[in-house]
Amino acid sequence: MPNLEQCGLLKVDYCSIEEICADDNGWSNTPLFDQLSAAERVAVARQLLDYFRSSYALYSQEYLTPDAMRSKGTNIREKLKDPYRIEKDDMPDPAYVSITPQQVTGRIFTVSVGRQSGVGRYLYRIVKEKNLGIDMKSNAYNQLMRKLLDTFCAAGWLFATKVGADADGNIYVYQLRADQMLWLKADGQPIRRDEIRSYSYKNTEAPKPSNFFRELYQTDFNEQKSLIGSEHTGQLGTDLRQEREDKFREGEISALYCSPTMELGIDISSLNVVHMRNVPPNPANYTQRSGRAGRSGQAALVVTYCSYYSPHDRHYFEHKTEMVAGQVAPPRLDLTQEELLISHLNAIYLAEVGAGPFEESLTDVIDVEHPDLPIKVAVQQGLQATAAVKAKVRAAFQEIVLRLPKEAQPKYNLTWIDLHIEQVPAVLDRALDRWRRLYRAAQTQLHDAQQIISKNIYLDGTPERKRAFRLERQATKQRDLLRNDLGRNRSASSEFYPFRYLAAEGFLPGYNFTRLPIRTFLPKGDFDGEFISRPRFIALREFGPRNIVYHNGNKGSGPSGVLAV
């Protein structure tokens, strides 16, 4: 969303900039500026100071030094409640502007104004356009820029911090003094163009403010209905999902952000607006999603956003009737698909030998006391089918094969059936490998955290000790979820309810489950959290390193913030 300045509601200027730039004597020893008129100095100075401001290279002794930011950040986190609390990792580091960033050592973030930077190219254009005859090669440019920034410091606009020294003298980094910024009410006119970052060879008009957002920001929402939004996805528990549907019907929740879970089986008669963020795959999906609105006969608005970068969306933007009034084809399922048939064979096998150990928790199946996490001996013995059981499985599966198209039946002959019956215990064991990796990772995290806590390496209250306690609690929560141990209840809707898990791994038929998903643990505060899963093609994007994962009002970031398999 555009900020207040981009909407023409705020104008930022700098103290005494016109008066200072009009003082020819003050700039007589400053290269480049000594050859510009007062008006030209004002224009260039504003661009340079805007560059500092937009790079967040700001100085304030009270608020923006590293120590002040840590202190203020602690107060903010203690006084704000979720979901408005600013996490520690969200607090920005102070930025500095440097002429030669490669010479700056230490853990500080620098923005370059060197010869090859946007600022360097901007000043070079001025020298060239005005034919000023100034040497802009690397060494001469560095000397020019240092003199220019020193003059800006003398004018009171910048603050310099010494960070080292070299053969040419001391090395400084620079920041814009926050108390030199003037916050002025704007009149909605075109805003100042960024000549450094947005240079164009053509003369272009200054950016026009966004009328929509200007009006939005000036709206007094205290006089309007409170707007609350919530998610509605297959990742939510049944009780929570039903609770949100009820609140949505009653008007407590104003908007639901839905996955395809809203396509079927949910009737909210008062719903009158559906907004689709992309064009659905086919007319059947469009009909189901758009059909959620107007179910009581009232008028409804259905809006579909078409992405320019999606060929699928662009096609249907040009051929709307193919989607809106297209033919809804009956769903088709390839009954001869080998993986589908193997999963049904596994289900028949498990039903015949007895699925009792799989009814509550995978810890009833896997020996968690053994370092290799094997299947318990008693369960392994129970999985070994007798000749009579194998015959029953074979007969039941042959009935399935007889219902297949005749051309597919020869492939699934007795030899094929017997081979896969013999493989069921081994295939089941492999299907448990993902759970084992997650469980080992949780145990490792728990052990490492407890080692730090028990050895008292760090004092109470230190960040390292607090982090160890937090990781211990999160690892315990992960382990409880993996065990499907949710207090006194063991939920069939849990991600690790045995039959749901085996369906997701492809061992059992999974009519509504993601096939072979990538899972990640998303912490919620210090004591809670949950595993979420995504199909592989989505997980590659959402669970990537340094990415931010948002789910149900919670957030995790980077590979250290989540546990993925």
Which among 515, 490, 491 is positioned nearest to 502, based on CA atoms?
Answer: 515
Which among 32, 13, 33 is positioned nearest to 23, based on CA atoms?
Answer: 33
pLDDT-based confidence at residue 561 (cuts at 50, 70, 90)? very low
Verify cis geometry, omega within 30 degrees of 0, for the bond prior to 209.
Answer: no
CA distance 421 to 166: 76
Residue ranges, comma separated, of all CATH 3.40.50.300 domains in the chain are: 229-324
CA distance 393 to 412: 14
pLDDT, residue 37, reads: 94
DSSP string, 317-332: HHSHHHHHS---PPP-
- 453-486 tens-digit pLDDT: 888 888 887 888 888 888 899 899 889 889 988 6
Joined together, the tokens standing for residue 218 give 């000036």
What is the CB neighbour count within 10 angstroms for residue 439? 21
Q: What is the 3-state secondary structure (H, E, C) of 191-237?
A: CCCCCCCCCCCCCCCCCCCCHHHHHHHCCCHHHCCCCCEEEECCCCC
List Cα–Cα distances, 98 to 104, 111, 375, in angstroms: 8, 6, 61
Asked whether residue 489 carries a pLDDT value surpassing 60, the answer given is: no
Amino acid identity at 44: V
CA distance 361 to 490: 8
pLDDT, residue 514, reads: 55
**Is residue 257 within 8 Å of 278, Cβ to Cβ?**
no
DSSP string, 79-97: H--TTSPPPGGGSPPPEEE
DSSP summary character for residue 372: T
Query: In the CATH scheme, what is the code of domain 229-324?
Result: 3.40.50.300
What is the CB neighbour count within 10 angstroms for residue 206? 10
pLDDT, residue 442, reads: 92
CA distance 84 to 142: 44
What is the CB neighbour count within 10 angstroms for residue 396? 15
Mean pLDDT of 523-546: 71
3-class state of residue 252 by DSSP: coil
3-class state of residue 497 by DSSP: coil
pLDDT top residue among 72 and 26: 26
CA distance 408 to 133: 83
Q: At what angle do helices 433-455 and 414-431 cross, to 10 degrees?
A: 10
**Is residue 507 within 8 Å of 346, Cβ to Cβ?**
yes
**Is residue 482 within 8 Å of 435, Cβ to Cβ?**
yes
pLDDT, residue 555, reads: 63
**Is residue 43 within 8 Å of 218, Cβ to Cβ?**
no
- 196-248 tens-digit pLDDT: 987 766 666 777 888 888 898 998 888 887 888 888 877 777 788 888 888 88
- 99-122 tens-digit pLDDT: 888 777 767 888 899 999 999 999
Beta strands 10-14 and 181-185, pairing class:
antiparallel
Which among 167, 105, 112 is positioned nearest to 145, based on CA atoms?
Answer: 112
**Is residue 533 within 8 Å of 510, Cβ to Cβ?**
no
Mean pLDDT of 180-209: 81
DSSP summary character for residue 14: E
Helix (H) or strand (E) holding 482: helix 463-482
- 157-172 tens-digit pLDDT: 999 998 888 777 788 9
The single residue listed with the structure tokens 């002959």 is: 413
List Cα–Cα distances, 2 to 32, 188, 206, in angstroms: 34, 14, 15
Who's near 139: CB < 8 A, 6+ residues apart? none
Q: What percent of the chain clears pLDDT 90, i.e. is strictly above it?
A: 38
Sign of CA dihedral 24, 26, 31, 32: negative
pLDDT-based confidence at residue 556 (cuts at 50, 70, 90)? low
pLDDT, residue 55, reads: 92
Least confident of 78-82, 358-362, 407-411, 531-535: 531-535
- Burial label for 7, CB within 10 Å (0-12, 13-18, 19+), is buried
Q: Please give the mean pLDDT across all residues of the chain.
A: 85
CA distance 483 to 361: 6
Q: At what angle do helices 138-154 and 118-129 cross, to 10 degrees?
A: 100
Asked whether residue 492 carries a pLDDT value surpassing 70, the answer given is: no
Asked whether residue 519 carries a pLDDT value surpassing 50, the answer given is: yes
Mean pLDDT of 357-369: 92
**Is residue 4 within 8 Å of 21, Cβ to Cβ?**
no
3-class state of residue 164 by DSSP: strand
Beta strands 158-166 and 169-177, pairing class:
antiparallel
**Is residue 260 within 8 Å of 276, Cβ to Cβ?**
no
175 DSSP β-pair partners: 159
Backbone angles phi, psi at 432, to 5 degrees: -90, -5
